[in-house]
Chains A and B, each alone.
Chain A
Amino acid sequence: MLEVQTISASYGSVRALEAVSLQVDAGGIVCLLGANGAGKSTTLNCISGVVPSARGRIRCDGRDITGWAIERIVALGIVQVPEGRELFPALSVEENLVLGTWLHRRQRNHGPEFERVYEYFPRLKERRKQAAGFLSGGEQQMLMIGRALMARPKYLLLDEPSLGLSPLLVQQLFEIIARMHRDGIAILLVEQNAKVALSVSEYGYILENGEVRLHGRAKALSEDPEVHAAYLGA
């Protein structure tokens, strides 16, 4: 279980998070919703260790990981897929994926990991020799998720995977996310697209100005009139 307990974080004098708590069960799928600047990405960055949290604790499977180095957190099985197009454009698809195995680098053969990624994303196999910078937006998003899968995550932190993708691609991508969850990977999903996020999630948290405004079962949230008005549109 991944537990975030009343963490706070700031950028300089700007407070980004105020006593945020949330929880992802092993094998669960949870979404974190909210408007721009609500603190969704900051929460993920605190968990992955990219941004230090000023107060509060973060625990994973009973261990206190607050303040751990990023690579130790990855080694524990918490792997982040950053927002946007954070990949290595000059390297080939295959090389990008190999970089995801960094923590298991003493192991010689990464065949099973490659196979698993290519099974989720057959497009990547077709393009494995191409430079990542030449992929389409959707393929780049797939590659980022694929790279994270290479590290054999127990908890996958997805930051706005739908960003900049066409509605059709978003739908396809979320089907794959649901499949990864069925295959046993716990997922914490940050999204602005609340509708599609709630449709795959079991539980949801809604952030507003750095605080958890509401949380509950995904089904209940999607039927909540307040959530409906603010995040799901008419």
Chain B
Amino acid sequence: MYGSPSYARLAPLLALVVIGIVLPPLVPQYFLSLGNTLMMYAILAVGLDLLLGWAGQFAFAHIAFYGVGVYGTVLLQSKLGIPFIPGVLIAAALAGLIAFLIAVAAIRLHSVYLALATFAFAESAQWVFNSWEGLTGGADGLRIAPPSVLGWTTGTDARAFPVIAIILALVIGATMYLTRSRLGRSLCAVRDSEHAAAVSGIDVFRTRIWAFVISGTYAGVAGGTFALFQSFVNPEAFGFSQIVLVLSMVVVGGLGTLPGPLIGAVLLGLLPEIMRTAMRGLFVWQELVYGLILILSMMFMPRGIWGLIAARGGRSK
């Protein structure tokens, strides 16, 4: 966790890119669609973990920044003709900017008060997505035209898969550097003790604001990947159940680690698929099952699945 990540640790990222490129012709479309969804959730969960697990900020506005990323990328393309790569960068920067404003407004709040304030923001953002019909199409939703990435038109799961794999690899790589950087350590410092961080000369407010901005930007990028493989978006995708889902991924996987949210995203992302196929009649109980998993994992593995694996392996992180 100190210094640059070794090349050995970057190897899995290369593997991810290779898999992203060779897999699409070999497997059925259903699995590619599932893979795209899981990779998108992975980006969302890693971004939330930076704020929740690394910086210790109990905030729930993540899904709103994700929404800004989705609508931003889609609308920049459809209204202004901006291609995908600059579009997703602008949308992610916009999500980061809004996260900055929320952070500045909520910076004096802690724990449950911060949770409530950010949750209120997420709810109002969903309301904006619903009501700004001229832009978002309101509850009727918005069609997404297949974006083109450097001349490579996505839009189908098979064509989006390699692009999303590359984006996920970049995001994980960036996170490896970030969590080993000075900023990464200062996030942990603020989480562990604001008092000790402050008297070590760390500007606690500025560090907390950075955590919000970075986390919001990640959510914006995740939103951009949504536009690559989905053809339709409506505000329902940004509701309370999504907040709970991404939160569960981070907590069940393991807070404050990089493998944790990745594991969580895969396991909890697969859950609705398993329930849909194996237990048709039980699908309506989905929310309840998430809640149950969250409670049980808090009780029996407070440091998440990765915490358990790391403890078994005798490693701290």
Question: Are A105 and B256 within 8 A (Cβ)?
Answer: no
Tell me which residues across on chain B come within 8 A of A147, comparing CB atoms: 196, 200
> Is residue B57 contacting chain A, with contact meaning CB distance below 8 A?
no
Tell me which residues across on chain A come within 8 A of B202, comparing CB atoms: 71, 99, 102
> Is residue B10 contacting chain A, with contact meaning CB distance below 8 A?
no
Question: Are B201 and A75 within 8 A (Cβ)?
Answer: yes
Our pick among A71, A82, A94, A131 for the contact of B196 (Cβ within 8 Å) is A82
> Is residue A80 contacting chain B, with contact meaning CB distance below 8 A?
yes
Question: Are A88 and B188 within 8 A (Cβ)?
Answer: yes
Question: Are A131 and B316 within 8 A (Cβ)?
Answer: yes
Q: Which of A80-113 contact B (CB under 8 A)?
A: 80-82, 86-92, 94-95, 98-100, 102-103, 105
Tell me which residues across on chain B come within 8 A of A99, comparing CB atoms: 185-186, 189, 197, 200, 202
Tell me which residues across on chain A come within 8 A of B140, comparing CB atoms: none
Specify the chain B residue showing the minimal Cβ separation from A83.
B195
Question: Are A151 and B316 within 8 A (Cβ)?
Answer: no
Question: Are B185 and A89 within 8 A (Cβ)?
Answer: no
Q: Which of A24-50 contact B (CB under 8 A)?
A: 48, 50
Residues A87 and B196 in contact in the complex (CB < 8 Å), given A92-B2, A99-B185: yes
Tell me which residues across on chain B come within 8 A of A69, comparing CB atoms: 203
Question: Are B201 and A74 within 8 A (Cβ)?
Answer: yes
Question: Are B198 and A50 within 8 A (Cβ)?
Answer: yes
Tell me which residues across on chain A come within 8 A of B189, comparing CB atoms: 88, 91, 99
Question: Are B188 and A86 within 8 A (Cβ)?
Answer: no
Question: Are A88 and B193 within 8 A (Cβ)?
Answer: yes
Q: Which of B165-209 contact A (CB under 8 A)?
A: 182, 185-186, 188-189, 192-193, 195-204
Tell me which residues across on chain B come within 8 A of A103, comparing CB atoms: 201
Question: Are A82 and B195 within 8 A (Cβ)?
Answer: yes
> Is residue B282 contacting chain A, with contact meaning CB distance below 8 A?
no
Question: Are B201 and A102 within 8 A (Cβ)?
Answer: yes
Our pick among A50, A89, A100, A131 for the contact of B195 (Cβ within 8 Å) is A50
Report the tally of A-B residue pairs with Cβ distances under 8 A: 80
Question: Are B316 and A70 within 8 A (Cβ)?
Answer: no
Tell me which residues across on chain A come within 8 A of B195, comparing CB atoms: 50, 82, 86
B60 CB, nearest partner CB in chain A, Å: 23
> Is residue B16 contacting chain A, with contact meaning CB distance below 8 A?
no
Give CA–CA (A99, B199) in the complex, Å: 10
Q: Which of B192, B198, B199 gathers most chain A CB within 10 Å?
A: B199
Q: Which of A74, A88, A103, A131 gathers most chain B CB within 10 Å?
A: A88
> Is residue A9 contacting chain B, with contact meaning CB distance below 8 A?
no
Question: Are B185 and A95 within 8 A (Cβ)?
Answer: yes
Specify the chain A residue showing the minimal Cβ separation from B207.
A102
> Is residue B1 contacting chain A, with contact meaning CB distance below 8 A?
yes
B177 CB, nearest partner CB in chain A, Å: 16
Give CA–CA (A94, B2) in the complex, Å: 9
Tell me which residues across on chain A come within 8 A of B193, comparing CB atoms: 82, 86-88
Question: Are A144 and B316 within 8 A (Cβ)?
Answer: no
Question: Are A91 and B185 within 8 A (Cβ)?
Answer: yes
Specify the chain A residue showing the minimal Cβ separation from B182.
A105
Residue interface mask A107-136, B partner, CB < 8 A = 1? 000000000000000000000000100000
Residues A88 and B192 in contact in the complex (CB < 8 Å), given A95-B2, A105-B182: yes
> Is residue A17 contacting chain B, with contact meaning CB distance below 8 A?
no
> Is residue A189 contacting chain B, with contact meaning CB distance below 8 A?
no
Our pick among A82, A87, A95, A151 for the contact of B1 (Cβ within 8 Å) is A95
Give CA–CA (A7, B185) in the complex, Å: 35
> Is residue A207 contacting chain B, with contact meaning CB distance below 8 A?
no
Question: Are A74 and B2 within 8 A (Cβ)?
Answer: no
Give CA–CA (A48, B316) in the complex, Å: 33
Give CA–CA (A87, B200) in the complex, Å: 10
Our pick among A71, A82, A90 for the contact of B192 (Cβ within 8 Å) is A90
Question: Are B2 and A80 within 8 A (Cβ)?
Answer: no
A60 CB, nearest partner CB in chain B, Å: 15
Question: Are A102 and B198 within 8 A (Cβ)?
Answer: no
Give CA–CA (A77, B268) in the complex, Å: 50
Residues A74 and B316 in contact in the complex (CB < 8 Å), given A90-B256, A91-B189: no
A49 CB, nearest partner CB in chain B, Å: 8
Question: Are A92 and B1 within 8 A (Cβ)?
Answer: yes
Give me 16 A-to-B residue pairs in the complex whose CB atoms sit less than 8 angstroms apart, sorted by A's number: A69-B203, A82-B196, A87-B193, A89-B192, A90-B188, A90-B256, A94-B2, A95-B1, A98-B2, A98-B185, A99-B186, A99-B189, A99-B202, A100-B201, A102-B200, A151-B201
Beyond A74-B200, A86-B195, A99-B185, 5 additional pairs, beta carbon < 8 A: A50-B199, A87-B196, A92-B2, A148-B199, A151-B200
